[in-house]
């Protein structure tokens, strides 16, 4: 067989697209589906270093721990749902940010704003914690400024305030993600038919009327899809943010489910129970995804999956 037949120009377009997608398919399969086989450890008394055949089969014993551990687990679920709920309240912010960014007429300033708001997304949460500590700690920037202004009142470290931890993490999450999430809406705005704006301008519409009557309604499909996907991820708050900001003063409010699974599995070494928690979290997320899909069908007449 001639080598020339394997050149890119000789491969049919449908096979060419398949080979382009193949590395990503393998990646998703390896890191999203292969770990599902590890769920079987939830039915055994897992001991590191032992073969599965050498472990004791305990059936649903590890699942029963959910009820005996319900006091701590209910607190963790409360924190998780509160942080996810605050995230849902902030869902419109990237859309409005993209709209306002699109209205900036100076290209240099527009690129500057987009770059500076997108950059925090690529900053590690460890760096974010270090910056926050440098600003909000008892010896941080704000405390020193108050001392220079002659304030005699002791500055309270907000990172150690149990009542403020939810709002603090919420604000940091918005600051870190709003620019990146706004990119999706910027792309959606670019896809709006320019003739709609031209026709509205001919009719005498102002810039605010263009936004209210054309831009925002055109972004509704994108907004609802992202909102429903966020609803399906109510139990997935992430781990890095809450791991680096965790301390004994705010432990009661900042411990979310992802951190709790890590604590049970790595710090307490109860791998079987942590597997059960991860399993149930995944199943709940899948159920919420299909529930959100059905809700989308009824409300919008279109499904998201």
Percent of all residues in the chain with a pLDDT value above 90, rounded to a whole number: 39
Query: Would you place residue 96 in the very low, low, confident or very high pLDDT band (cuts 50, 70, 90)?
Result: very high
pTM: 0.83
Domain co-membership, 153 together with 24: no
pLDDT given at position 13? 74
pLDDT given at position 1? 46
Domain co-membership, 235 together with 151: yes
Q: For residue 67, is pLDDT > 80?
A: yes
Q: For residue 60, is pLDDT > 50?
A: yes
Q: For residue 85, is pLDDT > 80?
A: yes
Domain co-membership, 162 together with 250: yes
Tell me if 293 is assigned to some domain: yes
Number of domains within the chain: 2
Question: What domain range includes position 8?
Answer: 1-31
Query: Would you place residue 169 in the very low, low, confident or very high pLDDT band (cuts 50, 70, 90)?
Result: very high
Q: What are the structure tokens assigned to 147, written together? A: 């001392």
Q: What is the CA radius of gyration of the chain?
A: 25
Domain co-membership, 27 together with 96: no
Tell me if 45 is assigned to some domain: no
Domain co-membership, 23 together with 83: no
Query: Would you place residue 228 in the very low, low, confident or very high pLDDT band (cuts 50, 70, 90)?
Result: confident
Tell me if 130 is assigned to some domain: yes
Tell me if 304 is assigned to some domain: no
pLDDT given at position 77? 93
Residues paired with residue 56 on neighbouring β-strands, in sequence order? 45
Domain co-membership, 128 together with 4: no
Mean pLDDT value across residues 240-247 = 92
- The Cβ of residue 245 has, within 10 Å, a number of other Cβ atoms equal to 19
Instruction: Give the CATH number of the domain where residue 135 resides.
Output: 1.10.3720.10
Domain co-membership, 2 together with 80: no
Tell me if 206 is assigned to some domain: yes
Domain co-membership, 26 together with 174: no
**Tens-digit pLDDT profile for residues 180-221:** 999 999 999 989 988 998 998 888 888 889 999 999 999 988
Cβ pair 66, 73 in contact under 8 A:
yes
Tell me if 52 is assigned to some domain: no
**Tens-digit pLDDT profile for residues 27-47:** 999 988 888 888 998 999 888
Tell me if 17 is assigned to some domain: yes
Cβ pair 145, 152 in contact under 8 A:
no
Mean pLDDT value across residues 98-115 = 90
Query: Would you place residue 296 in the very low, low, confident or very high pLDDT band (cuts 50, 70, 90)?
Result: confident
pLDDT given at position 26? 94
Domain co-membership, 95 together with 167: yes
Domain co-membership, 24 together with 108: no
Q: For residue 290, is pLDDT > 60?
A: yes
pLDDT given at position 137? 82
């Amino acid at each position: 067989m001639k080598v020339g037949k394997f050149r890119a120009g000789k491969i049919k377009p449908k096979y060419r697209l398949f080979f382009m997608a193949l590395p990503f398919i393998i990646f998703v399969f390896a890191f999203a589906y292969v770990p599902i086989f590890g769920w079987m450890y939830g039915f055994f008394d897992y001991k590191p270093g032992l073969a599965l055949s050498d472990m004791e089969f305990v059936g649903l014993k590890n699942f029963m721990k959910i009820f005996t551990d319900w006091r701590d687990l209910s607190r963790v679920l409360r924190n998780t749902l509160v942080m996810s709920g605050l995230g849902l309240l902030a869902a419109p912010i990237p859309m409005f940010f993209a709209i306002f960014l699109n209205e900036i007429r100076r290209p240099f300033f527009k690129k500057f704003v987009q770059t500076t708001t997108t950059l925090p997304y690529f900053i590690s949460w460890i760096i974010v914690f270090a910056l926050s500590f440098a600003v909000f700690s008892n010896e941080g920037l704000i405390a020193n400024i108050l001392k220079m202004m002659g304030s005699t009142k002791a500055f309270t470290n907000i990172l150690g305030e149990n009542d403020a931890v939810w709002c603090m993490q919420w604000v940091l999450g918005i600051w870190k993600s709003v620019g990146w999430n706004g990119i999706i809406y910027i792309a959606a705005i670019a896809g709006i038919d320019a003739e709609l704006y031209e026709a509205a301008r001919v009719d005498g519409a102002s810039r605010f009327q263009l936004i209210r009557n054309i831009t925002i309604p055109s972004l509704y499909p994108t907004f609802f899809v992202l909102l429903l996907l966020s609803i399906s991820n109510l139990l997935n708050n992430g781990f890095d943010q809450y791991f680096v900001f965790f301390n004994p003063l705010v432990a009661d409010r900042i411990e979310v489910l992802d951190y709790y699974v890590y604590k049970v599995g790595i710090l307490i070494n109860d791998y079987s129970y942590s597997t059960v928690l991860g399993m149930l979290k995944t199943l709940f997320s899948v159920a919420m995804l299909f529930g959100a899909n059905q809700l989308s069908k009824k409300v919008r007449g279109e499904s998201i999956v």
